Chain A
Amino acid sequence: MKLLKSIGFYALVVIIVVVSVFPFYYAILTSFKSGTAIFQVDYWPKHFSMFNYRMVMTQGSFPLNLLNSLFVSSVVVVISLFLAITASFALARVKFRGRKLLLLTILSVSMFPQIAVLAGLFEMIRGLGLYNTLWSLILAYMIFTLPFTVWVLTTFMRDLPVELEEAAIVDGANSWTIVTKVFMPLMWPALVTTGLLAFIAAWNEFLFALTFVSNNDTRTVPVAIALLSGASEQEIPWGPIMAASVIVTVPLVILVLIFQRKIVAGLTAGGVKG
């Protein structure tokens, strides 16, 4: 009976692992096939050709798209962390009137449907002359990275001991010094986690990137992958699409696996969207 139970348990474990990993495994498998090998279903690796990778990295604008994504996501992370650190210090450590309302507002903004601001943001971006530039995306991405980083850093800062701050106040430190000299050194783990989650969110964003940028050379990778197409409906270039998918996903998977524990903690603290 006990043996049966543990066999059942391990069977469940195997199913969970296979279902989770298989689609990605299959994408890698496909990306290494070339020519007609693509149209033949294989469960195990049989072919190894770099053709699709060479194709994606040398023809078309995909390398540029990668750089665009990297640039947009990094700038978004830096700006939102910078704005969020001071804001979350105020929200976490200082009692003032209207704080609760502010926190509620920030939380509600993080649940905004992006489509609700799309029309207004489009007008604004055209008005500012940012249409078809990467700055339009950097501006637009603040809408989801900023509330999230503020929220998570606030929860984190609230849990730091009061004594630290009191000692600094007795020494005559002002708020700016407290943030930069006392809290910042303690916050590195939280900053890395929130920064990473914000980076992933910006890296994956699709709706704004689809709407505010219309040029092949200024697109980010999600849109580039979605719009990779062949000469006709029947000729979808599955090989290059899978190669591009693997290229953008592998760094994310590695980062997620390295920062596994921290990400889980950050996700549950922020209750962010998946």
Chain B
Amino acid sequence: MAASDPATAARRRRSNLKAERIRSSWIFLAPMLAVLAFVAGWPLLKTIWFGFTDASLDALSAADFIGLNNYLEWVDYGDGEGEYFGLLADPDWWRAVYNTVFFSVVSVFFETIFGTIVALVLHAEFKGRGLVRAAVLIPWAIPTIVSAKMWAWMMNDQFGILNDLFLHIGLISQPIAWTASSDTAMIAVLIVDIWKTTPFMALLILAGLQMIPQDIYEAAKIDGINPVKVFFKVTLPLIKPALAVAVIFRALDALRVFDLIYVLTPNNSQTRTMSVFAQENLFQFDKFAYGSAASTLLFLVIGIITIVYLKVARVDLEGGR
């Protein structure tokens, strides 16, 4: 009786269809998830595991569990004397932490300011805007290693154009060894990073600017409000969400910086970041386990910030549906 009822039959067909869709969607997802688990999930767990062992580069399989000793270990010399070892007691590690945080805060700060200025310029109507936007994209398109080399050449202490230019306009009185001197190495790294990533910042902020309805500006114009005031009272609050997302995204990227520093200022304790510290220990100093522990700590820091980001940005997972 019920089976002959056309409404029920249609309902059953629809639910069969839904089941088929859900089944096939898991088949669709499986290869991608398998690859991700293989190249990301498993290696991550292995890295964390190595951080709790005494693994060395030549004897990875012979690693023994040593607990938290890579992080902190009290070595007793007897007679109540002893010393702490491990990452948390390693001044070089804390120096790397400080460098990373300093680099991230300063670079993101300037990138946000310059990015906003560039975005405001690109948002304005003027002749040749397309050309300017193309020009702004160039630093973004250049590989990081190439920009590091280009700037290393421009910052060369004897033949660099930067010293030549600054000497001519009287900004400095003698040539500076930008990348080698410990006073300026961090400044050099910051200059290159800000140059390279400001375009990305500008594009994200520009996307935010373009979402503001135009009539708000017209209303402000009619009321004769000073443009600077309009920017701080109207524009800035409206692009704040876009700005927040851009800042956190850049910060996450800055915290893991490696290439630029490795190439521009190699072996310099003033610019050694957490990533560089970990890589050196893993593959150059034959302290594989110690490097793994450092990687794990960096992962934790970035993990926490990612969670904050997902909360702050309230990432759109449903697509407004």
Interface residues of A (CB under 8 A from B): 9-10, 12-13, 16-17, 19-21, 23-24, 26-27, 30, 38-41, 43, 83-84, 86-87, 89-92, 94, 96, 100, 102-104, 106-109, 111-124, 126, 139-140, 142-143, 146-147, 150, 155, 158-159, 169, 174-176, 179, 200, 203-204, 206-207, 210-211, 221-223, 225-226, 238, 241-242, 245, 248-249, 252-253, 255-257, 260, 263-264, 267-268, 271, 273-274
The residue of chain B having its C-beta at the shortest distance from the C-beta of A157 within the complex is B319
Alpha-carbon separation in the docked complex, A8 to B295 (Å): 48
Alpha-carbon separation in the docked complex, A124 to B161 (Å): 45
If A26-B161, A114-B256, A274-B140 touch, whether A124 touches B43 (CB-CB below 8 Å) is: yes
Which B residues are in CB contact (< 8 Å) with A139?
39
Is A118 a contact of B279 with CB atoms below 8 Å?
A: yes
Alpha-carbon separation in the docked complex, A222 to B259 (Å): 10
A-B contact pairs, 28 of them (CB 8 A): A9-B124, A13-B126, A16-B132, A16-B136, A23-B150, A24-B142, A40-B159, A87-B29, A87-B32, A90-B24, A96-B22, A103-B317, A112-B40, A115-B299, A116-B302, A118-B279, A119-B43, A120-B49, A122-B282, A123-B50, A150-B32, A175-B24, A206-B263, A207-B258, A223-B145, A238-B153, A273-B249, A274-B140
Which B residues are in CB contact (< 8 Å) with A169?
17
Alpha-carbon separation in the docked complex, A253 to B164 (Å): 28
The residue of chain A having its C-beta at the shortest distance from the C-beta of B133 within the complex is A260
How distant is A253 from chain B, measured CB to nearest CB, in Å? 5
Which A residues are in CB contact (< 8 Å) with B117?
12
- In the complex, whether B135 has a CB less than 8 A from a CB of chain A is yes
Question: How many residues of chain B are within 8 Å of chain A by beta carbon?
Answer: 102
Select the residue from B159, B274, B298 with max chain A CB neighbours within 10 A: B159
Alpha-carbon separation in the docked complex, A90 to B28 (Å): 7
Alpha-carbon separation in the docked complex, A109 to B33 (Å): 11
How distant is A23 from chain B, measured CB to nearest CB, in Å? 5
If A92-B319, A158-B319 touch, whether A13 touches B149 (CB-CB below 8 Å) is: no
Alpha-carbon separation in the docked complex, A231 to B172 (Å): 32
The residue of chain A having its C-beta at the shortest distance from the C-beta of B141 within the complex is A256
> CB within 8 Å of A: which of B196-220?
196-197, 199-200, 203-204, 207
Interface string of B128-146 (1 = CB under 8 A from A): 1001111111111111111
Residue of A13, A100, A113, A241 touching B153 (CB-CB under 8 A): A241
Is A274 a contact of B199 with CB atoms below 8 Å?
A: yes
Is A248 a contact of B146 with CB atoms below 8 Å?
A: yes
- Tell me whether chain A's interface is mostly helix, strand or loop, or mixed: helix
Which A residues are in CB contact (< 8 Å) with B148?
226
Is A249 a contact of B146 with CB atoms below 8 Å?
A: yes
How distant is A160 from chain B, measured CB to nearest CB, in Å? 11
Is A94 a contact of B21 with CB atoms below 8 Å?
A: yes
Is A41 a contact of B164 with CB atoms below 8 Å?
A: yes
- In the complex, whether B252 has a CB less than 8 A from a CB of chain A is yes
Is B288 a contact of A119 with CB atoms below 8 Å?
A: yes
- In the complex, whether B312 has a CB less than 8 A from a CB of chain A is no
> CB within 8 Å of A: which of B14-47?
17, 20-22, 24-26, 28-29, 31-33, 35-36, 39-40, 42-47
Which A residues are in CB contact (< 8 Å) with B141?
200, 249, 252-253, 255-256
Is A146 a contact of B35 with CB atoms below 8 Å?
A: yes
How distant is B19 from chain A, measured CB to nearest CB, in Å? 10
Is B135 a contact of A20 with CB atoms below 8 Å?
A: yes
- In the complex, whether B69 has a CB less than 8 A from a CB of chain A is no
